Amino acid sequence: MADPETPAVILYSIIVAAYKDELYPDEAGEDGIDPITLWYNLREDFKVDVDITAQNRINAIQIAVETDLFYLELEAFDSIISGIVHGSIDDALDGGYIESGVTEILTAIFEVGLIRGDQRPEFSDPIKEYIASELVKEVDDDDSGQETADAFLTIHRHNVTAWFKELGVDEQDLITI
């Protein structure tokens, strides 16, 4: 958690494994764990200060997993991608916006998909159009754009699987995307 390169899906999985009973609101109306308490608990339980980049990755993937904004709102989609991939949750309003390319889009969709599995809505038309335009742009910029994106996704899938194996997760238990 102190490593700023740890993928969002790994960070989120550790948190769910450690705090699943406290993380989400329950049927009795009790609120889930608030972010300040979460960071405090992580520091106490894991003896580590969670890097700000990792915090941003966790916040972004948590929004993507616990809401449908990633699938429905274009601005949220791009901000969540930035958080998951770059560890930055800045947006266009404060000048910290990082535009997403095909590689970033695929990475975020892959990581969110690992957690949501079949529980994900269809992307809204504006998001589908945005993804399509980024694919076209990349292919226009580089004739090997699709091959580059496929190769990156294969490498990322391998790396994320290796992280899960290090955590003791059996490869058969991972959702295949």
Q: Which of 1, 15, 110 is nearest to 64 (CA)?
A: 110
Q: What is the pTM of this model?
A: 0.76
Q: What is the DSSP letter of 112?
A: H
Distant-in-sequence, close-in-space partners of 116: CB < 8 Å, separation ≥ 6: 64, 65
Question: Residue 60: what pLDDT?
Answer: 93
Confidence of residue 177 (pLDDT cuts 50, 70, 90): very low
Q: What is the CA radius of gyration of the chain?
A: 17
pLDDT digits (tens, 9 = 90+) for 55-110: 999 999 999 998 999 999 999 999 999 999 999 876 545 555 567 788 889 889 98
Q: Which of 80, 91, 20 is nearest to 56 (CA)?
A: 80
**Could you give the CA distance from residue 108 to residue 38 in angstroms, rounded to a whole number?**
23
pLDDT digits (tens, 9 = 90+) for 112-168: 988 888 888 999 999 999 988 887 777 665 555 556 666 666 776 677 777 667 667
Assess contact for 89 and 38: CB atoms under 8 A. no
Question: Residue 136: what pLDDT?
Answer: 78
